[in-house]
Amino acid sequence: IIAASHPTQSGENLNNTPSLRKIITTDFAAFVAFLFVFAQWGIYIVLMLAQKIKTEDLTLPALFAIMTIAGAGVLAWRVRLIKTVFDDQIELPATLNNVFFYRDRGRLTYIYTYQAQKFIGSNAVMKNKQTEKVQIGQPVVVLVDQNHPNRAFMRDLYIKQ
């Protein structure tokens, strides 16, 4: 990963578009929201096929519909948030200072400087091939939200490589 020596502004790097697949498989909140949208319907279908629930009882489908709407809202918010920060394209060098995983999820923490102020940022992530490769002390590139400079995302986790 090559870290920029100074912030870059919009339009300088057009390959920084985060893919939806990468957002869902990397970002913990997006992954959980995705599960809320789809997983319970799989469970419902299995329960129906196994004849463990009565199809005329609408309690479970109503609950799942509410969970689907909530999950879709959180997923849309998270995808929009990440894509907005990437669209602004304020890239900064950062250094990973903590890598923590517990089972299938973790947190990557990094230090960066924006407008002469030092920030400690972190991303809650899913454990995958890419997130498992990072190491403490590793230089990375983060994209920073210009309106909330304490919010940043590690660029290379969210773009196709």
Neighbours of 106 (CB within 10 A): 21
- Strand-pairing partners, residue 112, are 94, 119
- What's the rounded Cα separation, in Å, for the pair 38 and 6? 41
CA dihedral 9, 141, 92, 5 (to 10 degrees): -100
> Which pLDDT tens digit goes with each residue over 131-147?
999 999 999 999 999 99
Instruction: State residue 40's pLDDT score.
Output: 86
- State the DSSP string of 77-125: HHHHHHHHHHHHT-EEEEEEEEEEEETTEEEEEEEEEETTEEEEEEEEE
- Cα–chain-centroid distance for residue 22? 8
- What's the rounded Cα separation, in Å, for the pair 13 and 7? 12
> Which pLDDT tens digit goes with each residue over 6-42?
444 444 444 678 999 999 999 999 999 999 888 888 8
The stretch 114-135 carries a mean pLDDT of 94
